[in-house]
Chains A and B, each alone.
Chain A
Amino acid sequence: MKSTDKKKTIIVGIGNNGRQDDGLGWAFLDYLETLEPDFDIEYRYQLQIEDAEMLLNYDHVIFVDATKEKTVTGYSFNECLASEEYSFSTHALQPETIIYLSNSIFNHFPKAYVLGIEGYEWELQIGLTEKAKGNLENVNNFFSETIINNYL
């Protein structure tokens, strides 16, 4: 699979495949690996502050995560704008915060997006629900047909 330009891209899948549909981000990366992509991928349980430094090597980044938000197509795809909003603990860093840190500490401004895939169940269990699997298939098609050609 070839992207439309030579800019370096990383796709960061966030989640935990031991928590049912929370594994959607990783499942998407599993799909990408089968395509032998010319971009890098990273699996994350959660985003860490040092991920801001990792982005120094890239011009484009897509954060992929399961979402509880209701969607029409089973997924959402939006530009990720820097935000200094921060939760009270070290955990649950948002992609927007990572972009803010990349901008402010490293003076680096990658083009960033968030791809949310709608999930439904989050209990201690391995395996996606059937509805989530359907959403994943939709996202796979959307990525191959639209994101690759228009955003990377």
Chain B
Amino acid sequence: MSKRKLIIEPVTRVEGHGKVTIHLDENGKVDDAFLHIVEFRGFEKFIQGHPYWEAPVLVQRLCGICPVSHHVAAAKAIDQLVGIDPDTLSPTATKLRKMLHFGQVFQSHALHFFYLASPDLLFGLDAPAEKRNIVAVATENQDLAKKGILMRKFGQEMIKALAGKKIHGILAVPGGVHKTFTPEEREYFLDGKEIPNVDTMIQWCVEIIDFIKTYHTDNANWIDSFAHYDSNHLSLVNKENGALELYDGRLRSIDAQGNELLNIADNEYAYHFSEAVEPWSYLKFPYMKEYGREKGWNRVGPLARMNTCSHITTPYAEAERVIFKDYTNNKPNNMTMHTHWARLIEMLHCAELMRDLLLDDEIMSNDLVRKGVTRNKGIGIIEAPRGTLMHEYHTDDKGLITKCNLIVSTTHNNEAMNRGVRDVAQKVLSEKPEITEPMLNQVEVAIRAYDPCLSCATHALGQMPLHVELKDHEGKLIDEKYR
């Protein structure tokens, strides 16, 4: 048998476009595998020369799925340009931004779990490709599909109430927010008349977590072993107590055994992180300088956050976190497929946080904007749905942006996704007489667990059909499939 190369393009049920190449040697054994991000982003460059106050509006156009995350991260950075830090932002502005952020995490996690991941879990990895989608879920499990839709809607309605529209709205302005919350808006989310209320969201989250726990019990073999590999884990944690923190905190990284590698103020990130490049991808590879390119990469996102935090501040989510941690005897969890479980715990946490904020009268105050002494540099770091999101802006004395650096969550996960692709390809494809479509789907499942947002990580436009090519070692096409 000659050397062969398999290509999966584009990777499906992820946000954005990427492709996978799998290299087989003469014996059909997987030699190597790569996740290529083939889109190109120019945001860091073309924002230069724009006034700083445009940044939270412009950069959210990176994405149609998580614009709120970019809006909030940019806003935190731009606050500093007008002399405001997270602890001097008004309490009302802080709470309204947090509520916006929690609505975003809630809806984004719902989108991923119900629309993208659930078909793999419900129908199995070997199910026909035409069945692995939300329409089939809707046909066979109406209740799950209905709850998924209504939970995502709740988060989107929260975003719309605060930012004016569900996608590319605006809440944050330099040093605060431009609107407060009205009693009518609060009642909309509490009374349950027009949409299921926030207490229903909490109840449904608990039900869905029960579903995933049962699923894990029934499928422990493959859930625990699939794309299971050691890594470091990075996220923000609460500055005072190390709790799960999504909006503002310290950066903490631990290794696969739980040893602390990093615990720094978020504005020190540039001293500790660098980004490597590879010729086969537009997506960079961030790593911690102290540990080098090989040992310094991190996973980010829900699984990492469960590993780095000491506890969760809301009661129901904390109870679920304890169960989650018990599964690994309180050690870091390196099982990629457990990311779905962690994601649902975070949904519950966000629902609880939104309820607490909705019951807080301070969200209806008019103390919205503050100003301090202007600066020329601002850094905003948050935990976006997919992980740690870093924005940094520099301005000249006229307030025009001279430099911008964005490290998005999916970029942090680049190395982790490549390891996942390699791990699964070696286990599933090596020395098999025939490579089937369900086998290739398993490679995608390893990527999908990270919920990568490839348009965020690079940004792109265009149409792409799914095209799988099988080539021999000379690059000659010997088979191809479309779907």
By a beta-carbon cutoff of 8 Å, the part of chain A in contact with chain B is: 45, 49-50, 52-53, 84, 86, 88-90, 97, 100-101, 104-106, 124
Contacts and interface: CB of A to CB of B under 8 A. Distances in A.
B58 to A, nearest CB: 14
Contacts of B142: 104-105
A90 B153 contact: no
Nearest to A19: B461
A142 B16 CA distance: 38
- Most A CB atoms within 10 A — which of B13, B138, B139, B156? B138
A97 B12 CA distance: 18
B146 A86 contact: no
A10 to B, nearest CB: 16
A106 B147 CA distance: 11
Given A88-B12, A88-B483, A90-B116, A49 B466 contact: no
A45 B153 CA distance: 17
Chain B interface residue count: which class?
20 to 34
A53 B149 CA distance: 8
Given A52-B149, A86-B133, A88-B466, A124 B461 contact: yes
B149 A49 contact: yes
B150 interface: yes
B428 interface: no
Contacts of A88: 12-13, 129, 133, 466, 483
A79 B125 CA distance: 36
A124 B116 CA distance: 29
Given A88-B483, A104-B142, A105-B146, A50 B135 contact: no
B391 interface: no
B167 interface: yes
Interface string B27-71: 000000000000000000000000000000000000010000000
Contacts of A105: 138, 142, 145-146, 149
A104 B129 contact: no
Contact of A104 (B139, B150, B156): B139
A84 B135 contact: yes
Interface string B2-27: 00000000101111000000000000
A8 B466 CA distance: 39
Contacts of B129: 88
Given A45-B64, A88-B483, A53 B150 contact: yes
Contacts of A53: 149-150, 153
A8 to B, nearest CB: 15
A105 B115 CA distance: 14
A50 B138 contact: no
Contacts of A50: 149, 152-153, 156
A34 B145 CA distance: 37
A124 B61 CA distance: 15
10 contacts: A45-B64, A52-B149, A86-B130, A86-B134, A88-B466, A88-B483, A90-B13, A90-B115, A104-B138, A105-B146
Given A86-B135, A90-B15, A90-B115, 6 more contacts: A49-B115, A50-B156, A97-B135, A100-B135, A101-B145, A104-B139
Contact of A45 (B116, B135, B145, B167): B167
Provide the main secondary structure of the chain B interface: helix
Nearest to A107: B142
Nearest to B461: A124
Nearest to B195: A53
A101 B136 CA distance: 10
B169 to A, nearest CB: 13
B146 to A, nearest CB: 5
Interface in B106-142: 111, 115-116, 129-130, 133-136, 138-139, 142
Given A50-B153, A52-B149, A89 B138 contact: no
Interface in B258-315: none
B327 to A, nearest CB: 30
Nearest to A51: B149
B135 A101 contact: yes
Given A90-B115, A105-B146, A106-B146, A49 B134 contact: yes
Contacts of A89: 10, 12-14
B138 A101 contact: yes
B77 to A, nearest CB: 26
A106 B149 CA distance: 11
Nearest to A92: B463
B479 to A, nearest CB: 19
A102 to B, nearest CB: 10
B461 to A, nearest CB: 7
- Most A CB atoms within 10 A — which of B13, B135, B139? B135
B214 to A, nearest CB: 23
Contacts of B111: 90
Contacts of A124: 461
A61 B142 CA distance: 23
A124 B461 CA distance: 9
Given A49-B115, A89-B13, A84 B139 contact: yes
A45 B145 CA distance: 23
A13 to B, nearest CB: 15
Contacts of A84: 135-136, 139
A100 B133 CA distance: 14
- Most B CB atoms within 10 A — which of A52, A84, A105, A106? A105
Nearest to A91: B15
Contacts of A100: 135
A89 B10 CA distance: 10
